[in-house]
Amino acid sequence: MEIKTDDYSIWHDPESSTVFFRGFLRLDGMEEYEPVMHLLINALERSANFHLNLRDLEFLNSSGISMLSMFVVKVRERGNVQLTLQGSDKILWQTKSLKNLQRLMPSLTLEFI
Amino acid sequence: MTQTFTTQTFGAFLDEIPASDEYLTLHFSPSSAPRKHRWHNYGLSADFLGDYFAAFFPGDEVPNSKINRRDTVKAAVSYIANELLENAVKYSDEAVNLPISITLYLYEQRIIFQVTNHASLSTVQDYQQFIQSLITSDPDDFYTRQLEKAALGTGASNIGLLTMMNDYSARFGWRFQPLETRPNTCWVTVMAHLDV
């Protein structure tokens, strides 16, 4: 599974149970984020440990943050998945906004490098 | 039905913006180009504003951060300008065919963003209700509540505005002015103050 455009790419690596994000993601509202959400939900299937690697995602708009919130709540509803967000402490939006997702799921792990 | 509507301001709105040596305004013409194409241009414009204003800052270290001062300004300006433009587009009344504009004013330790657009009276009234609940709530609780709302997809969460306020410590003011020529349209000015 992969979504690739000039501005961003998103792909799933089943071996490491990781979805990777790269580039600039600023889609127009939640509707446009549906294909991304669909990829995430499909990738999540049957994983006990799941990772989102955002380290090369330089820009995410607030609709994208809402999409991540939506995904975190889906994982929370499963009840048996350990979710880890891998971020970069060299990308400002990640240092500012990722920690808020723990408000939705306190067991969410954040790994910054 | 004709409703009466007078000019209203909320929050940290300044009627007169202090003189600034450096400012820059972009006007976006109302256009028949597909929204998808215009959307891309707003993102590019936000990045340009980030680069433009970052150039006034040195690349020295920021305490407790791996991102230097110039790159911090660049990323914060780009995020805030993009969110403000996205909101202006989302809430604009396209029928009135009037431009959206964004101006950034630079000061020694602050940047003021000012964005104007035109919106229908009903959009404005809904938005004013949101502002009222925002300014009368505990910011932290309100953010968590709206994030949960966004996550469940139950109605407008205004997460963009809340991330700018909570994550970037931007302070906001709003002015809503009736248009004499169109009683059901308001001229909306949003002001954001960012400490840099």
Q: Is residue B70 in some structural domain?
A: yes
What is the model's pLDDT at position B3? Answer: 56
Mean pLDDT over residues A3-25, rounded? 97
> How many distinct structural domains can be found in chain B?
1
Q: What is the pLDDT of residue A91?
A: 98
Domain segments of chain A: what residues? 2-112
Tell whether B134 is covered by a domain: no
DSSP-assigned beta bridge partners for residue B120: B185
Task: Give ipTM to 2 decimals.
Answer: 0.96
- Residues in chain A closer than 8 A to B65 (CB atoms): 89, 95
Cα–Cα distance measured from residue B101 to residue B28, given in angstroms and rounded to the nearest whole number? 6
Q: Which of B82, B144, B147 is closest, CB to CB, to A61? A: B82
| Amino acid B153: pLDDT | 82
pLDDT of residue B2: 52
Q: Is B75 exposed, middle or buried (0-12, 13-18, 19+ CB in 10 A)?
A: buried
Which residues neighbour B62 within 8 Å (Cβ) at sequence distance 6 or greater? B68, B69, B72
State the pLDDT at residue B100: 94
Smallest CA-to-CA distance from A65 within A22, A94, A108 is with A94
- Write out chain B residues lying below 8 Å of A89, CB-based: 65-67
Q: Are B69 and B61 in contact (CB under 8 A)?
A: yes
Distance from CA of B25 to the nearest CA of A (A): 22
Q: Do A62 and B72 touch (CB under 8 A)?
A: no
Q: Pick from B39, B72, B166: which is nearest to A28 by CB?
A: B39
Q: State whether B78 and A30 contact (CB < 8 Å).
A: no
**Residue of A5, A24, A90, A92 to mutate for B, most B C-beta atoms under 10 A:** A92
Check whether A36 has a pLDDT greater than 60: yes
pLDDT per residue of chain B (196 residues) written in tens, 0 to 9: 455 678 999 999 999 999 998 999 999 988 778 888 889 999 999 999 999 999 999 999 999 999 999 999 999 999 999 999 999 999 998 888 889 999 999 999 999 999 999 999 999 999 999 999 999 999 899 999 999 988 888 777 899 999 999 999 999 999 999 988 888 899 999 999 999 9
Q: What is the distance between the alpha carbons of residues A22 and A58, in angstroms, rounded to a whole number?
A: 7
| Domain-embedded: residue B106 | yes
Using CB atoms, pick whichever of B153, B160, B167 lies closest to residue A30: B153
Average confidence score pLDDT of chain A: 96
Enumerate chain A positions whose Cβ falls within 8 A of a Cβ in B: 24, 26, 28-30, 59, 61-63, 65-66, 69-70, 72-73, 89-93, 95-97, 100, 103-104
Phi, psi of A4 (to 5 degrees): -140, 125
From chain A, the residues in CB contact with B148 under 8 A are 69, 73, 104
Q: Residue B172's beta-bridge partner residues?
A: B192
Note whether residue B152 is domain-resident: no
Residues A99 and A46: their CA atoms lie apart, in Å, by 25
Q: Is residue B47 part of a domain?
A: yes
pTM of the model: 0.95
How close A84 gets to chain B, by Cα (Å)?
18
Q: Does any domain span residue B54? A: yes
pLDDT tens digits for range A68-96: 999 999 999 999 999 999 999 999 999 99
What whole-number distance in Å separates Cα of residue B170 and Cα of residue B23?
18
Contact A92 B75 (CB under 8 A): yes
Domain A2-112 annotated CATH 3.60.15.10: no
Query: Rounded to the nearest 5°, which phi and psi values hold at B28?
Result: -110, 115
Structural domain range at position B179: 32-123+169-195
- Compare CB distances from A61 to B75, B86, B151 and report the shortest one's residue: B86
CATH code: domain of residue B176: 3.30.565
Q: Are B116 and B187 in contact (CB under 8 A)?
A: yes
Residue A26 has pLDDT above 60, yes or no: yes
